Chains A and B, each alone.
Chain A
């Protein structure tokens, strides 16, 4: 199983679409209900960040299969305003939206791997991975 599918984030409903697709894919990979909820919630937060800050972008999913482990990689990309100070947004409790999102530290805790690349004025790319245990 090695596929990649993407959901465009343009309207609010796409947040639900993205997390439902992510949940379906993680179920097929074999994740249990708790990890499915973690993955779907993480996707929801990432997709909402795109919708709130960049307006449009996409969330892509890829099933990972290594020699002895399986997982899912989720990539959230936008061409929005970018993040000026990444260390600041990674602090618990930091918000620019008035508490609409739990923010990136929460997403990081939900997943196993978390990478962020952002250039001010160019956009943001966040890559997260969850491994099947």
Chain B
């Protein structure tokens, strides 16, 4: 299964709407980096509104893709993390520090624009 990556001006938008298995998560990581490379996008929003489970593996993949994109010169913001997911991550001991987040897609785009203007 492939997660669609949409391009909008200088941004890439991704909405994850499936229960992520490890393989799909790794595939997504590769796809996103290639897409950044070929499109020259400077900002990425990954929306997690429809994701109701983030376990340690998925959290690691997401955290890594933020760092990897940063290395390539694109800023990533994770948006829409559900309350239950936030609580579960902290219980697990995963803090995702240094990962930019925003309440929803709209706030995420505002945050990206601010960061990219700095």
List residues of A whose CB falls within 8 A of some B CB.
12-13, 15-16, 19-20, 23, 33-34, 36-38, 40-41, 44-45, 48, 92, 99-103, 105-107, 109-110
Contact = CB atoms under 8 A, between A and B. Distances in A.
B84 A15 contact: no
Contacts of A102: 55-56, 59, 92-94
A16 B21 CA distance: 6
Contact of A41 (B55, B60, B82, B83): B55
Chain A interface secondary structure, helix, strand, loop or mixed? helix
A23 B59 CA distance: 19
Interface residues of B, number: 22
Contact of A16 (B19, B82, B83): B19
Interface of B: 19, 21-23, 52-57, 59-60, 82-85, 87-88, 91-94
Contacts of A16: 19, 21
A34 B53 contact: no
B57 A37 contact: no
A33 B93 CA distance: 20
A45 B55 contact: yes
A33 B84 contact: yes
Contacts of B84: 33-34, 36-38
A98 B19 CA distance: 24
A20 B18 CA distance: 12
A100 B91 contact: no
Nearest to A44: B55
